[in-house]
């Protein structure tokens, strides 16, 4: 590549947008996220790559999140191109493309983790930010490894019913309950800006909380969101994050089972989809480098409740990223 090949802010081509649902019925044709082009249809170019990771070998309870990405793509057919809550047309601001699925080994967690890290790394190297659709929460570890390689230690905003900072399950280090302990041990996280949001439910012991706090995490429980309200909570999170590179990881079980029944380890007393979407919208000043959305298990879903909530969550995250990309281009 010569220097003249390096895209400059002014030379960014007009993004190729989604299929127009006023001309082609939205239920027609194969599903990509939000009916966006596949990455091979944009010449391999994506400012934001939506990528699936069909993997659920790391779960401790109900399996099925390997089907999450495609369920979210199906539910995302109903999304529309203008996002009034953020006053933005995300798919016109930057190229968002569906990069398909990372083909990971379902029988070897260690190999799967390596494959995700490599594939995520090459998408990041191509200049894309990632909107990853899981898959179970194990995949956050290789994603964070790829992020840290590019950005250094990142701020983490983790929406989940669970801490996911446990040590091992049955002696296994790589599971969906342990990604953030591994990430902390490996120095992938900026310990001054780590937050869980929406945690609740029984733990193994008080020590779980002590260990978690030692890693640097602050906690906003689902009850805190209810008592203090979305605006106050979001202000506090934003202050903590500041201008650091931010990675957002959303486990769909952060939502109450009434809002997300289709997941493997549901816990009563969660936040609403309205609260989740509003907190995300409040992050518009933050430097969001990539995000994941995990633990959608469509076999336990009803009427696509969970995958619709997930598709809207990914839409808000994608909007945040495209707004920042467009603002940086000026
Ligand atoms: N990451 C999710 N969804 N769940 C973790 C639950 C771990 C456990 O069974 O204790
Ligand atoms: Zn969870
Ligand atoms: Zn989780």
- Residue 169 belongs to a domain with what CATH number? 3.40.800.10
Confirm whether 13 is domain-assigned.
no
d(CA 190, CA 169): 25
Give me the number of domains the chain comprises: 1
Any domain includes 16: no
Region label for 315, one of left (φ > 0), alpha (ψ between -120 and 50) or beta (otherwise):
alpha
Closest of 36, 75, 26, 63 to residue 307, by C-alpha: 75
Flag whether pLDDT at 6 surpasses 60: no
Q: For residue 41, is pLDDT > 70?
A: yes
* Interval 261-297: pLDDT, tens: 999 999 999 999 999 999 999 999 999 999 999 999 9
Contacts of 22 (CB under 8 A, 6+ apart): none
Q: What is the pLDDT of residue 3?
A: 38
Which residue's CA lies nearest to atom 5 of ligand 1? Answer: 177
Classify residue 10: in a domain, yes or no: no
Euclidean distance between CA atoms 271 and 253, whole angstroms: 9
Beta carbons within 8 Å of 154's beta carbon, 6+ residues apart: 144, 147, 148, 188, 189, 190, 244, 245, 246, 247, 289
Going by CA atoms, what residue is nearest to atom 7 of ligand 1?
A: 177
User: Residues 6 or more apart from 156 whose CB is under 8 A from it?
Assistant: 144, 180, 183, 189, 190, 193, 194, 195, 246, 247, 248, 249
Residue with tokens 């993004």: 15
- Whether 85 has a pLDDT exceeding 60, the answer reads yes
- Is 162 annotated to bind a ligand? Reply is yes
Tokens describing residue 307: 């995958």
Nearest ligand 1 atom, CA 294: 3
Give the residue-averaged pLDDT of 72-81: 98
Residue 254, in any domain of the structure: yes
pLDDT of residue 12: 83
B/e letters for 167-196, b = 16+ CB within 10 Å, e = fewer, are eeeeeeebbbbbbbbbbbeeebbbeebbbb
Instruction: For residues 317-324, give the mean pLDDT.
Output: 98
Closest atom of ligand 1 to 137 CA is 1
Query: Is 211 within a domain?
Result: yes
Sheet arrangement for strand 287-294:
96-101, 48-53, 129-134, 287-294, 245-251, 154-159, 189-199, 217-221
| pLDDT, mean of residues 173-180 | 98
* 208 labelled binding-site residue: no
Whether residue 19 is contained in a domain is answered as no
Confirm whether 165 is domain-assigned.
yes
Check the annotation: does 160 bind a ligand: yes
Taking residues 17-34, report their average pLDDT: 97
Does residue 11 fall inside a structural domain? no
* Pocket probe mutation, ligand 1, options 55, 57, 60, max atoms within 8 Å of Cβ: 60
Which range of residues forms the domain containing residue 180? 26-329
Contact 306, 296 (CB under 8 A): yes
Q: Give the pTM.
A: 0.96
Alpha carbon distance 128, 251 (integer Å): 22
**Alpha-carbon gap, residue 13 to 224, rounded angstroms:** 44
């Amino acid at each position: 590549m010569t220097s003249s090949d390096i895209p400059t802010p002014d030379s960014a081509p007009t993004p190729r947008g989604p299929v127009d649902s006023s001309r082609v019925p939205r239920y027609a044709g194969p599903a990509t996220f939000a009916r966006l082009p596949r990455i091979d249809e944009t010449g391999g170019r994506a400012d934001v790559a939506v990528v699936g990771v069909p993997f659920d070998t790391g779960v401790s309870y109900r399996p099925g999140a390997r089907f999450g990405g495609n369920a979210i793509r199906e539910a995302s057919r109903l999304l529309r191109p203008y996002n009034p809550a953020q006053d933005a047309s995300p798919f016109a601001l930057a190229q968002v493309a569906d990069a398909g699925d990372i083909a990971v080994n379902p029988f070897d967690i260690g190999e799967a983790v390596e494959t995700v890290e490599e594939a995520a790394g090459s998408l990041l190297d191509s200049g894309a930010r990632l909107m990853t659709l899981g898959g179970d929460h194990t995949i956050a570890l290789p994603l964070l490894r790829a992020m840290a390689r590019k950005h250094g230690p990142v701020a983490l905003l983790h929406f989940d019913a669970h801490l996911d900072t446990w040590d091992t399950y049955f002696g296994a280090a790589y599971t969906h309950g342990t990604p953030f302990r591994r990430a902390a041990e490996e120095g992938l996280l900026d310990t001054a800006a780590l937050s869980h949001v929406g945690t609740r439910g029984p733990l193994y012991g008080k020590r779980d909380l002590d260990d978690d706090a030692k890693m640097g995490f602050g906690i906003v429980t689902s009850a805190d969101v209810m008592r203090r309200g979305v605006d106050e909570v979001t202000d506090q999170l934003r202050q903590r994050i500041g201008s650091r590179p931010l990675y957002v990881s959303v486990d769909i079980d952060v939502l109450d089972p009434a809002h997300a029944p289709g997941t493997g380890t549901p816990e009563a007393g969660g936040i609403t989809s309205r609260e989740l979407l509003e907190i995300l919208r409040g992050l518009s000043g933050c430097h969001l480098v990539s995000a994941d959305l995990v633990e959608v298990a469509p076999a336990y879903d009803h009427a696509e409740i969970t995958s619709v909530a997930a598709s809207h969550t990914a839409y808000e995250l994608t909007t945040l990223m495209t707004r920042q990309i467009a603002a940086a281009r000026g």
